[in-house]
Structure 1
Amino acid sequence: MTVYIFRRFVNYAILSLIATCMAYVLASVVLDPAARFYGMNPRPPQSSIDASLDAMGVNPAVPVLVRLWHWLVDLFTQFSLGTTVGGAQVTAEIAARSGASLRLLLIGSIIGAILGVLLGVWGAVRQYRLSDQIVTYASYVVFATPTFVIGVLLMILATQLNNLAGVQLINFTGEYTAGISGSWWDLAVDRAVHLLLPTIALVLISAASFSRYQRSVMLDVLGADYIRTARAKGLPRTKALFRHGVRLALIPMSTFFAYSFGTLIAGSAMLEIVFSWRGMGQFQIEAIVKNDINAVAGTALFVAVLYLISSTLSEVLYAALDPRVRS
């Protein structure tokens, strides 16, 4: 199994590098880092503009493949992703913002995946009953609702709750309360309160997706021959479902979890804007608006690494669930 996991990890690493290079080339072709200089009054001399672009390594006068090569050399030799249009190191910005995004993504995705799997199994076992219909319609409503709308609705509900309570029970602007002081426990509680609403939004989004997929897979498993054989041998229905059915139904879910991470990252970007989080999603959108090639490439690398980690973990889970992979 170790050889299998290592081989898959190497494959995902190569794909991540290719995706990052393509993102850099696409950003270099589409974005115009010199545009911000052209809007200045008075406009800087062209020599000053070229010097600034050369310092960032994004001068359009240099062929894009040459710029990509220098960017990769700096990445692998100096662990540098270049500088932003504001003069900050991209690696420093990613290090400062990634914690906020990872807290939101990991907690929301894991809770949402577990809840979605449970709802999917429950819906398959109780197919077409009232509980299954409620989960189905609720999932479709979440699917049809844009991410930022879910965030705004949660903010409205939290505001109403705060008004009813007469105190600020739920804070939802930013990662923490500005100027807060106290013990580490007070700071941790404050961050947890600010994390509550965006996490709930991500849980709803991921749970709706996982529940539909898990229900479909579980329905196929319930009609399988080995389930009927287990029941014919006297195994109780519940044990037959959880010992044989759920375990095999989770195998395709491990792959689905890895590739649904991209949707969660896109959803978290909108949530970060709605809830004023300085995370990677907000950083990526700001980079595109500012025509910041290095920042766009850095965020693409960040997303690719997340895919690399999640895909590798899904392969580990796949191997743990399917004995054929371990042989």
Structure 2
Amino acid sequence: MTTRTQGTRQSVLIVGGSGVVGSRTARTLRALYPDLPIAIGGRDLAKAAAVAEQVGRARPVRVDLERADLGLPAGEAYGAVLMFVKDARMSALRFAQETGAAYVDISTAAFEIAPEVALHAARPRSAPVLLACHWLVGAATLPALHFARGYARLESVAIGAVLDEQDVGGPAAYADFERQIGAGQKALFLKDGAWTWAGAEDGARSFVTVDGTEVKGQLYPVLDLMSIAAATDARSVRFDLALGETASRRRGEPFSTEIVIELEGVKKDGARGRSRHELVHPEGQAPVTAVGVAVAVERLLGLAGGAPAAPGLYHPETLVDPERMLDRLAAFGTTIRSA
């Protein structure tokens, strides 16, 4: 492992930091940690510089994902490398492993994590690797696990997310969406205790969104299903995404983002029961994603107390307490309702 000569163990490189979600994450981190060193990384140094100036106490760096050293000055290293763009060469993960930086990926579908898992398996003690490729970086999974604590035996979890068609994000986010929808011919989900590749009869599901409108969603290949299944004894877990008009736009307001979590099982009092939980942010998906990344970073680097995360392979729920995530989501504008 190389020696750090620049940066500190509590410093962050945001690759794709001048994009819609990356820049929002930088501002969220700055709001939470005024003294945290932040580098805004991107191909266009002028755009990165503009975001760095907005964030304050941040600096722009040019990042080249075709180079093993990311095109950074010799010896430069960080406490965490946050990926807001797809890195087909795995250059950023290799860089993080070489320097011991925590690595956070939010752009990879469940069916394409094998290269990252293999790199971790080859060097398991080099760096903390967080695969946070969940919907909005755990904004559905962690609340679902929080609400699941009300059940003695959880049998099914059905999550429906509504992404407004005006809120797909910048070019990197749109490329992720197209790749994941186009490359995955079938989605994997848990049905009656067995992992199943969805056929035509299982690929779509209608659910009622936050204003009572019924929408049709498609099974989406995110890691939420695997995380929830691993953390609970639920026999059925599915995640459906509906791309269209959110409830706020139907009211004539700007787009929002919506998550509907429906649980079923045996409650703590022994009676069968169901519950429904809704999360809504009036500014869309970017601020929710930013909170998810910020909560992960503060845990990985030990910014909120406690030791930094040890080298290992993580999902959000293995690092972050669900109540912590709910508190942070609420503090940054997410409305949470249960029925």
TM-score interval (norm. to shorter): under 0.3
TM-score by length of structure 1 reads: 0.24
Using CA pairs under 8 Å that are at least 6 residues apart, name the structure with larger relative contact order, 1 or 2. Answer: 1
Question: Which is richer in helix?
Answer: 1
Q: Greater share of strand residues, 1 or 2?
A: 2
TM-score when normalising by structure 2: 0.23
